[in-house]
Structure 1
C-alpha cells in the first residue's frame, strides 16, 4: 500500500479516537443556519441510502422537519435518484401538500412532490412532534421480511434495539395515495421508532437524521439476520432461540438509544 493511501486512510473519520463522551449535536447561531445544516444532512442521508442500494425505482423518501416552520418538512423530490441529491434539490412542503417558495428548485423536472411521501410523512410529523426525521424505503431484506406479516424476534444484541419498539402495519392497500392510509400508518407506528409495513417495506422515525439513518440500516440488517436464522433453523428442524424478555429489554435500552446514531455518523462509518 502506498504512503499516499496510508495517509488517506489515516485521515478517514472512522480513525478518530472515541472520547469519553458521546458527540454532541451542533449548536446554531440562528434558525436559518440550522435549516441549512439539516438540508445538508438530509442530502447526505439520501446519498447513504443510495450507496447502500435502498432505492427501488421511484420509491423511497426521507423527510426532516423544518426548524423555522415546524408544520412543514423537507423531502427529496420525485424522480431524482438518491445518489444525485444535493441540498438545493430538496423541497419544503407544508401539511396541505404545497411546495413552498423556500424550496431550492424553482422549476424544472424535479420540482415534483411524491404523493406517497406526502401522505405518509405528513401524518407522521403531525402525530409525532418528537420526530425530526422519518425514512421509508423498499430495501431488499426489509421488503422480504415484511411479507411474513410479523415483527422481529430478539435473536441478537442488535435486534434488541427494536425490542418492543417497532410496530407491524398489517394492511397493504396499494400505493399510499390518500390521507386515510397515511393516518393509518402513523397510528400503527404509535410512539415507536420503527414499523414494518406488511408487503411494502420499512419505516423509521426518530428525533434526529443521524438516528433515523442508523436505525434504518440496523433494521434492514436485523431483517436480513432474521431471515437467515429462520432458514437455518428450519433446515435443521429447529427454531431460533430468542433472548429472554428481561435481557432483551435491558439491552434494548442501551443499543436502542436515539443518541447512538450521531456516534456512527461522526466517525464516518456510513459514508455519504
Structure 2
C-alpha cells in the first residue's frame, strides 16, 4: 500500500477533539489578576530576549481587573530578564505605588495612565525604546502596507507629530492618548512605538509585530522602492490579521517558549 493509499483510509479526527486554546475566562477576580500578572512578567522576559530592553526605559502595563484605574507594571530599575510576578508593582492613575516594594518610572507611567484613561477598552499598553521603532519615529512616518504583516496596522495606527521630552507631564500625555484615538498603535515622533490591546498578549504581539514591520520598511526603502499593497487589499488583510484574537493566537508560541525555559518568572 502506498502512502497515498494509506492516507485515503485515514479517518479525520472530530473537530471537537482537537486542541486549540483560546483566551481563558475566570470565575474569580483573584484568578484573573494572577493570570494578567503572569502574562506581564512573561512579556517582559520575552522583550528582553528580543533586545527590547534598554537601561530603565520601557514599560508594559496591565489594568487590574478589580480596580480599573490601577495598573500592574514592571518595577523601576529591575532588569527585564529578572522580573518575576512577585516583583510587579501596582500603581494608581497618579503613579502612586499601592502594592509592591519598588518605585515606578513616573516619566513613562504617566503616558500609560492617560492611555488607559482615554481607552477603557484597553487592558494592556506596551512601550519600549527599540532600534527600528526609533528609526521610523525619527522619520516621523507611518507604517506603509508593503507586506502582509504590515497590513495589520493599515489605517489602524497613528503618528504623534510633536516631540516628547524624557519627562512627559499629564497634559502632554493626554495629547498622546487622544492622538492614539481608537487605533491599536502609535508612532511617537523621535521617540518610539506604543501599542495597546485587550490583553497583555495582544499588546505585546502588536509591539513585536510593529517593531519588525518597521525593520522591514526601513530595509526595503534602503534597497529600493517598495511596492505598496492596494488599499482594498490592505483593508481586507487587516480584517483577517488585525484583530486582538489573532494577535493573542500568534503570541502563544512565544509565551509558551519563555514560560517553559524560565519558570522562575512565575514566582
Whether these two folds match at TM > 0.5 is yes
Query: What is the match of residue 222 of structure 2?
Result: 231
Query: What is the match of residue 260 of structure 1?
Result: 246
**1:89 aligned to 87, 90, 103, which one?**
87
**1:143 aligned to 129, 134, 137, which one?**
134
| Paired residues of 1:61 and 1:137 also in contact (CA < 8 A) | yes
Root-mean-square deviation over aligned CA pairs: 1.6
In the alignment of these two chains, the number of paired residues is: 242
Query: Distance between the aligned counterparts of 1:178 and 1:230, measured in 2?
Result: 35
**1:212 aligned to 198, 203, 216, which one?**
203
Query: Distance between the aligned counterparts of 1:151 and 1:122, measured in 2?
Result: 24
- TM-superposition CA deviations, 1:164-199 (whole Å, max 9, x none): 001001111311331111111101111000001111
In structure 1, the gaps of 5 or more residues are 1-18, 106-110, 234-238
- TM-superposition CA deviations, 1:194-224 (whole Å, max 9, x none): 0011110110011111111111111000000
| Paired residues of 2:75 and 2:89 also in contact (CA < 8 A) | yes
Query: What is the match of residue 245 of structure 1?
Result: 231
In structure 2, the gaps of 5 or more residues are 1-16, 259-267
The secondary structure found in structure 2 opposite 1:80 is coil
* Cα shift at 1:269: 6.6
**1:104 aligned to 76, 80, 100, which one?**
100
Query: Distance between the aligned counterparts of 1:204 and 1:22, measured in 2?
Result: 26
**1:197 aligned to 188, 191, 194, which one?**
188
* Cα shift at 1:28: 1.8
Query: Distance between the aligned counterparts of 1:198 and 1:266, measured in 2?
Result: 30
Which of 157-166 and 114-123 deviates more?
114-123
Query: Distance between the aligned counterparts of 2:256 and 2:250, measured in 1?
Result: 7
Query: What is the match of residue 35 of structure 2?
Result: 37
| Paired residues of 2:164 and 2:191 also in contact (CA < 8 A) | no
| Paired residues of 1:55 and 1:138 also in contact (CA < 8 A) | yes
TM-score normalized by the length of structure 1: 0.85
* Cα shift at 1:265: 3.3
TM-score normalized by the length of structure 2: 0.87
The secondary structure found in structure 2 opposite 1:62 is strand
Higher helix share: 2
